[in-house]
Chain A
Amino acid sequence: MLTETDPAVLARVNMHAVLGALTVLAERAPEAAPLLARVDRPTVLRLRVPGVPAHSLRFCEDGVEAGERGGERVVTLMLRSPAHLNAMVDGDAQPFPVAGLGGLRFLTQVFAPLADLLGRYLKPSEADLEDPAFRGISALLTLHVAIAAVAQVANEDRSGRLSASLIPDGQIGVEVGEDIDLRLHARASTLTFDATPASSPARAVLAFRDLDVAGDVLAGRASALSCIGDGSMAMRGFIPMIDNVSRILDRVGCYLGD
């Protein structure tokens, strides 16, 4: 158990997992569509942080995706340090934008409200959680953030790397109910998160009965052990993969917890 976290790892978690969840937010949250409708032309948001590989998100009217296709308007957010990015994601600091007028409008009219919306779903109020539809989307986003963060922590964090070193090659499935099957691919002790639909059987599976259970466990409102005990969570397959992923998930909690 490491009692400290590494700002550079958190920066990757924030870039790839938290901001990465804008892609799912765009697909699922009804409030996202009117915001995206304001995108007048495809725009790429580049995040530049010293010591962390640059990462881009591409926004268009239809949605958000990771990466760039070419030819988009480019808006670059310059951050002084990993800690600066982390403070920006927490809403405690401003980046230095490099953008034209249209780009600045994109930042204030599209990116900022989308990021606020994401924050609302990831840190829901009690009142918001009473709405089943909101609760479902909130849990789905939490799940995406957590699993994407597992890959970052597995590859970059000292404790995460130790856990990942004990994961043999193969796919780890994270299932929720009948419909959701997210995959982590393990190869040579490196994990990648693959949000595309699964095409082959997983070597180990961690299954949540439904999104409520997933949301509660991932947000730390319920313990995974109790849920396995009462059957609302289950595991099968090559259990050391699950054991080590859950150790990484605990470590993710150190980064994303309050």
Chain B
Amino acid sequence: MQQKIPFYLLVILLICLGLGSAVYRHINLEIPWLPGETREVWSVEARVEFTALGEPVIAQMAIPETQQGFTLLEQSTASPGFGLSYLTEENIPAVRWSTQDAAGKQVLYYRAQFLLDAQQQRPWPDAPQVLAAPILSETTALVAERLIEQARLQSADQITMAAQLLNILQSDDQQVQLLLQDRSVEEAAMLLMQLAAIPARQVTALRLKNSRRNQDSRAYLMVYDTVHDVETEDQRVAFFNLATGKEGRPQRLLIWELGDRPLIDLEGGRNTRISFSMQRDVAPVQQALEQKYADVSAMQISLHSLPLEEQKLFRGLLLIPVGVMMVMLMRVLVGLRTSGTFMPVLIALALMQTALGAGLAGFVLLVVSGLVVRSYLSRLNLLLVARISAVIIIVILLTATFSVLAYNLRIVEGLNIIFFPMIIIAWTIERMSLLWEEEGGGEVMKQGGGSLLVALLAYVVMSNQYVQHLTFNFPGLQLVLLALVLLLGSYTGYRLIELFRFNALHGRNRNAAK
């Protein structure tokens, strides 16, 4: 019992490690437990149109970046004849097109792909400095003063105060009209913020709606609450739609630019017009995450970072332990005998490459015809190595023949027969034919049937999409499998078939009989 304790500790440790790493990946890399989950990926395109004046052109447009709720996956431009550079100016990312000379109508495209990503919590840029308000006429200053006073009375902090101010701006109040006489709502809002010393940005945003073209951007006011939460450094922000004065950020509101600047800065052209179009794609989580984590640190590296070909390989490799586990279950708990311990796993792997029915038919066909040929070989008095080699060659020939036949008969699945491990099949044929010679067809059926049954079971489990999803995305679960194998390997209870085998041992008390 004493040496059992470290053993169980090891098993528990393995299980904890395995489950722990799976939970870690689930939480930190957002890999879902179940397959089939999807995410929205938005393609947003900005179309810049202008008339060039026939002189050097420089067009610089602010571009969006990863922000709360959105992760930037990739971006591209289409602008024939223009030089292109990405830059960051005062923390605001931008794209700049330039050319020596251009005349007439020009169209530039910028396209970005965003993952709609509730997990994305990148903080907003810090609150801007509150600039000194411009010099105002006396009446305007007085009106503004009064409005701010009124709002201050009805608010608790900077954000509620901003809400009050924007609310007031929407009303038909005479004073408000006076204020709006020679400035737009946006300008008036910014002015009030400055006068009230509320840090705020005027930002350009896009409402993402599926399959829209020719959309205009919207002006939002982003208000910071700097008075609160100074210690926690947790800045609160609120968004206000400047057109309606309403507070709140709709779920699919992409902030395109937050630099208090015009979207585009154009030299050498006029009649600029920017319009947006957007398109939603539903991508499987895997693919979306792959792009999201395409370049993160080694700690979080997953098999997704491998080239597709290798990924496929690993998908298969990581399933093998599951198959092996099934074989162990069948042997240790049930007591089924198979010819060649892990041959069923190999058959199952081959079946996964082929369609099930065609695969099984192909396998049985190969083995049976191999047996027929082998029975002739056994009369030739050959050495074992020579015989196995001969069987391998024949198996390959048979495979080729069947493939060609199947192809010409338009049975496409027939081609998949080449996925069977030839050498293994050759050995299987050799063993079965020996078994046949020595113990008769019954035993061949028993062991062959046992192997096929276990192979089928392994196939069913290995081709299950949940199993595939879990093994590939949570490699740590292999440790759990390892722990289970260790446990199974130390199981000393009876096997299922022993309950039948020892059935004849129904109680006979020998001591009493004496």
Instruction: Tell me whether A and B are bound partners.
Output: no
